[in-house]
Structures are given as C-alpha cells and as structure tokens.
Structure 1
Amino acid sequence: MPEVLLIVGILTAVFVGYNIGGSTTGPAFGPAVGANVITKVMAAGLMSIFFFLGAYTIGPKVVTTLGEELVTDTAIFTLRSNVAVLFFIGGALFIGNYAGVPASTSMTAVGAIAALGMATGELNWDVLGEIVVWWVVAPIVGFWVAGVVGRYFYPRINAWVAIEEKEGGRPMVSVDRSGLAPRLQFGVDADRREITGALTVVAIGCLMGFSSGTSNIANAIAPIYGTGDVDMTTLILIGSAAVAVGCFTIARRTLDTLGNDITNLPLTAAIVVAVISSGIVVGLSSIGVPASFVVIATMSIVGLGWGRATRTTTLSDAARGEETPVSVGALTAEETGERSPEIGEEEPEDIPQASDLFDPSTTARVILMQNVVPAISTVGAYLTFRFLPIFGF
C-alpha cells in the first residue's frame, strides 16, 4: 500500500508540474511572443531548459523551506496527505490554466501546505509570516520600480533599443533546420540593433524561466520531499520533465493572455518588465522565499504602463490637484527609437487610445483568478484535513 500511495503521490506531483509549466511560461515569454520575437514552440523549449537549470541550482533552497521549515513536524507529510496536498495544488492551478490565466503557483502551493499545517496544529507561523510579507512587498516594489522607469527612463531606453517589432509573418528570431545543424535565423530586414534587442529580450525571458525554476519547483515536489522517501535530485528531474510537458501544451493559453490579450507590449517594454520581475524573483529565491512569480510580472507590466502614461503631467501640476489623464495605450506612444518630449510637454491625445495597452475585461479576469486559485487550494485543503478522518490527524 505505501508503494502505491508513493506512486500516486509522484503522479500527482507530475500533474502539479504540468500546470506549473502552463502558468509560468506566459509571464516569462508572453512579452517576447506577443512582440512576435519568437514562436510559442521556441518559448516552450527555452522555458523547459532554463526552468530545469534554476530548479537544479537554487531550487533546493525553496524546496527545503516548503518541505521542512513551513511546518514544525514533517511527520504530517504522510503519503496520503501528500496526495491530497498535491491534488489541491494541481487542481486549483488547472482551473486557472483552463481559464487562460497564469495563477501564482507559489501562493497556491504555500496555501495548501499551510492549510495542512493549520489543520494539524503544526504550522510554523513565523515562516509563513515572512513569506506573506514578501508576497505583499515584492509586487509593490515591482509596480513602483516599473512605474519610475516608465515615467522617467522608458523613452530614453526606447530610443537606445531602437527595435522595430514585426507585425505578423515570421517571428524575428527563428530556427533554421534546413542544414545539418540547426541555427538561429533573423528577420530579413533586421539590422544589428534589432537583432541585439531581440536576443536581449529572449535572453531575459530565459532568465525569467531560470528564476521560475528556482521558486516554483518546490511547489510540485516539496510535500513528497518532506516524507524522505525520494531524494531531491530525482524529484527535481521528475518535476522539471512535467513542467516541460505543460510548457508545450497548456501554456499556449497563458501565452495568449499575457502576450496578446492583456497587453500588446513593444520589445522595449518587454525587456524592462523581464529585468524587473526576474531580478526580484531570483533575489527572493536565493534566500529561500517562494516568490509569487506571476503576480510580480503582472504588476510590473501594469506599473510600467501607468508610469509611462503619467508623463503627460508634471509633479507641479499634480501638486495643484490637476488630474492625470492616464491612457491605457501608453507604452505604444513612441515609435521605435523615437525620443519623447519632456515630461509635461505631451498631450493626452498624443498617446494612442486605439491600441490599448490593457484590455479591461481581461485584466479584471487575471486579477480575480490570481486570488481565487490560491483561495481554492487553501480552503479546500484545510476543510479536507480538518474534517475528514481518513488522514488520521
């Protein structure tokens, strides 16, 4: 019986990993796909590789936090309880992925494990408190850093990057398989600066994939690791393989959401968002905190657009109580490489309204589901462990 439960637990962890691949590929490569730099298939391949690298190097620190430190007694990680924990994590994430919304895997997983700890009286409240504080602080930091960049530095960065994204047709970066060995191929009319910019945004997407691996591998394997029945390396290999399957399948929906539906990011904006969000996630993972990767990336996008839109109003105008006419098409205001006017010189009509940065209904759906999915995992797990006697607690 224990062997059967272990197999079921591993299969459930695979299901969780599959949904992690679906929910994290969008934030990492959605901007690059939306800007028509790479295809969804290339995004899935790069995400799979760099997720594994992050999981194998820094990921064990976060696994230790969730699998050992979040609860005061790891004996509660029985094979039977692990199956239930992973079921609620995977089931909740599947709901988000099915809706095309990349929900936070860290919040979902921590919620389920914390629910087990609360139901058994073994929750380490100090560790949970530290994690929750960072969950609140990190998206706020991402929003305001992106906002400052959008208001004061974005036009300068845009002029420096000078990349003209290609509408439709073949992506700027593709793989030529006609020869003996595959090689990168760039757009026909792409110059050196466009190629450099395209490679930059892809490289930063890879960094985001790496940072996702450092934080999110724990969400799939931490409960199994807590039992001590399977070693860390084996679990990381299994979890990463499951993530790769999710990247190539269900991730297509979240790539559409963050790459096309919620935002139509120029390459310059994609680079800025990727740098900010990946930097925060890697920093938190290095100290063992499971970062809310999706929320940080989403809030960085929102903050960047808000900061760019506020360039129509100076600080002195704001101090006099003048309303800032914020346009949702803010990040599409400049042509590629164009130097923008100084702050306050632009008129609201100079910022396009037709090509909206945010679709209000999609944005509302994303924000709603990013809260609903972790709530489903947490409440469902707590009620199960608290009131069903089959777990022996």
Structure 2
Amino acid sequence: MSSALFVVGVAVAAFVGINIGGSSTGVAFGPATGSGVVSMRTASALMALFVLLGGFTVGTNVVRTLGSGFVPAEYFTLGASIGVLLFIGLAILLGNVLKVSTSTSQTAVAAVVGMGAALGVLNWETVGVVVLWWLLSTILAFWLCAFVGRYLYDAVVDALDLESRNSRLAEFVVVGIGCYMAFSAGASNVANAVAPLVGSGQLGMLPGVAVGGLAIGVGAFALGHRTMETVGEDITDLSLEASLIAESIAASILTGLSWAGIPASLAVVLTACIIGLGWGRASRQIPLRAIARPEGLTAAERETQAADRLKLFDPRVTKRIVSTWIATPTVAGAVAFAAFEAAERLHLLT
C-alpha cells in the first residue's frame, strides 16, 4: 500500500511540475518568442535544459525552505505531501487554462501555509520573511525597470544598436538572457513540485530535483506555448532591447533570492519588470513635476500618456494577470487549510 501511495505521490509531483513548466516558460521565453528571436519549440527545449541546471545548482536551497522552513518536516507524511501537491497543481492549472503565468512559488507557499495553519505548526517567522521579500522584490523590479524605461531606455537602445550592428549578436544575447531566466526558474520552482516529498524523506534531494526538473521540461513543451503568447504578445510590444532589460533585471533578482533560499515567483518579478518598463516608457512625454503637482495632469497630458501607454502594454491584460496572481495562491491556501482542518478533526492524519 505504501509503495502504491509513493507512486501516486511522484505522479502528483510530476503533475505539479508539468503545470509549473507551462506557467514558467511564458515568463522565461515570452519576450524572446514575442520579439521573433526563437520559435516556441526551441524555447521549450532550452527551458527544459536550463531548469534542470538551475534546480541542481541553486534550487536545493529553496527545496529546504519549502520542505521544512514553514512546517516541520515530520508533518509531511506521504498522504499530507500528496494533498499539498495536489492543491498546488490544481491552482496552477487554473492559471494555465486562463493562459496566464501564475505565481507558482506563491501558490506553493500558500498551500504549505494553509496546511501548517490548520495543524497549528506553522512557523510564522518564516512566513513573514518570505512575504516581505516578495513585496520588496516586486517593488524593486517595477521601479528599476520604470527608471530605466523613463530615463535610460533610449540611451540603451542607441548604445547597443543591436539590430543594425549585428542581428546574430542581438538574437544570441536575448536567447542567453532567456536561458538565464530558465535557470532562475529551475532554481526557484523545482521546489514547488517536490519539496513536500523531499522534506518528508520520501525522495532524496537529487532524485527529487530530477523529478521536478524533468516534469517542468515536459510542461514547457506541452503547455508553454499558451503563456508565451500572453507574455510575449499581449502585454507589450517588446523590442530586443526591452526583452534584454526586463529579463536581465528579473533573472538577477530571482537568482539572488534563490541563493538565499527564498521561494520567489518568476511570473510576478518578470511581469512587474515588463509593466514597469512599459509604464516608464509611457511616462517619458510627461514631466515628473506635472505628475506630482496637486491638480494632476491636464486633459492633453492625460490623453498623451494614455495613447502612449496603450501602445506599450495593455492594461486589460495586466489586470487579468494581477487578478490571477491573487486568485491562485488564495485558492490553494484556502482549500489546503479547509482540507487539513477537516482531516485533523476527523483524525485522518494520525
């Protein structure tokens, strides 16, 4: 019976990994495919390769945090691990169905937090530290890119002049940054698929990372094209330079957080970069003193800003993405809490 349950656990972990692959591929290679640099099939193959690399080199830090930092490892029984993973997978699947890259790490953390809260064993200090870094990283990503978009974007474009100097070089740089993003995705997101099983001792660290990484690779091929379309085409009309800026900043933030063992969201950070870059570019024609003055913008200034903004990113798509960011972790956490609360009352966990 226990061996059959173990097979179920690995299958559910693979299910979660496949959905993570579908979600994360969009934010890793959406800008590259949206700007026509690589095909979606090539992007999926690169995603699979660099996710494994990121998982094996940096991702173990995040696995430890998610597998034992929020809830003591002994509470991750095989049945509990399967339950948590199932809640994570279903919530991420919701985002993939809606063609939106969900906040996979936030969804995974919410499910684990829901379990810990229901059992009364949650480490609130870890929750506070992780949530604080989520807020700081998102704010940092937005304002760094907004600053670059408003003050430095034209200078960067003129200095690089990638398309006219050497289109091959331009493509290589953008694909390289996409691979860096995939590496960051592996470092951060492999834990979301296997941390409960690794924390409970059902899987070793390296076999667990291998299972999660391979499943994410499968998801990149099976589902990644859906979210690549949304990120690469619907939010903003990205140039090669814009892709390079947004992905470089996002990948650097994600890699730093993963080294520290913080489970952070690739979807949230990169999309915040894209929105911040678009907002910064859209505000170039309006002086800061006009934005800050008490009476606000004039009718002509509002019209100019709105026209420019609509050329750079679609506010309707942005609202749909932010809504999904909020909905998926909330669903995962609430369902996990209710399920484990009921199981505790019915003495099913003993």
TM-score tier after normalising by the smaller chain length:
over 0.9
Aligned to 2:88: 89
Aligned to 1:149: 148
Q: Which runs of 4+ in 1 moved over 3 A?
A: 315-322, 324-327, 348-353
Q: What's the CA shift for 1:318?
A: 4.0
Q: Which of residues 192, 196, 210 in structure 2 aligns to 1:237? A: 210
1:56 is matched with 56
Specify which of 307, 315, 328 is matched with residue 288 of structure 2.
315
Identify which of 200, 213, 238 aligns with 2:173.
200
Q: Shift in Å at residue 76 of structure 1?
A: 1.0
Where do residues 213-228 of structure 1 align in structure 2 (5 Å cutoff)?
213-228=186-201
Counterpart AA for 1:18: I
The TM-score, its normalising length taken from structure 1, stands at 0.84
Q: Secondary structure at the match of 1:152?
A: helix
Per-residue Cα deviation, 1:92-111 (whole angstroms, up to 9, x for no partner): 10111011001011000001
Residue 171 of structure 1 corresponds to none
1:188-240: CA deviations, max 9, x gaps? Answer: xxx65222121111101100100111111110000000111221111111111
Cα distance in 2 between the residues matched to 1:6 and 1:121:
26
Question: In structure 1, how many angstroms separate the alpha carbons of the residues matched to 2:206 and 2:291?
Answer: 55
- The number of equivalent residue pairs is 345
Q: Is the Cα–Cα contact under 8 Å of residues 78 and 202 in structure 2 kept in the other structure?
A: no
TM-score (norm 2): 0.94
2:321 aligns with one of 366, 373, 377: 366
**Post-superposition offset of 1:319:** 4.8
> Is contact 1:81-1:391 (8 Å) kept?
no
2:33 aligns to what? 33
Q: Gapped runs of 5+ residues in structure 1?
A: 165-190, 328-347
In structure 2, C-alpha distance between the alignment counterparts of 1:250 and 1:315, rounded to whole Å = 42
Partner of 1:108: 107
In structure 2, the partner of 1:264 is 237
Residues 215 and 290, structure 1, Cα contact 8 Å, conserved in 2: yes
Paired residue type of 1:84? G
Contact 1:12–1:87 (CA<8 Å) still a contact in 2?
A: yes
What is the percentage of aligned positions where both structures have the same residue? 41
Q: Does 1:119 align with 2:92?
A: no
Alignment deviations for residues 71-119 of structure 1 (CA, whole Å, 9 cap, x no partner): 1x32210111111100000011011101100101100000111111111
| C-alpha separation in 2, matches of 1:228 and 1:25 | 29
C-alpha separation in 1, matches of 2:306 and 2:191:
46
Distance 1:349 1:109 in 2: 38
Say whether residues 1:131 and 2:130 are aligned partners.
yes
CA distance in 2, matches of 1:264, 1:195: 21
What residue number does 1:385 align with? 340
Q: Distance in 2 between matches of 1:279 and 1:27?
A: 14
SS at the partner of 2:231? helix
Matches of 2:342 and 2:293, distance apart in 1 = 58
Partner of residue 375, structure 1: 330
**Counterpart of 2:259?**
286
Q: 1:390 to 1:260 in 2, by over 3 A?
A: farther
What is the CA-CA distance between 1:247 and the residue it aligns to? Answer: 0.2
Aligned to 1:212: 185
Name the SS for the 2:166 alignment partner: helix
Q: Kindly report the root-mean-square deviation, in angstroms, between the aligned alpha carbons of the 2 structures.
A: 1.8
- Deviation of 1:349 after TM superposition, in Å, equals 8.7
Amino acid at match of 1:23: S
**Secondary structure of the structure 2 residue equivalent to 1:356:** helix
More helix by share: 2
Asked if the contact 2:17–2:216 (Cα under 8 Å) also holds between the matched residues in 1, the reply is yes
Unaligned runs of 5+ in 2: none
Flag the structure with larger Rg.
1
Q: Does the CA contact (< 8 Å) of 1:161 and 1:193 recur in 2? A: no
**SS of residue in 1 equivalent to 2:117:** helix
Determine if contact 1:309/1:326 at 8 Å carries over to the other structure.
no
User: Which stretch has the larger CA shift, 154-163 or 51-60?
Assistant: 154-163
Could you give the per-residue CA deviations for residues 293-315 of structure 1, whole angstroms, max 9, x where no partner exists?
Answer: 11111111111111112211233
d(CA) in 2 for partners of 1:262, 1:247: 20
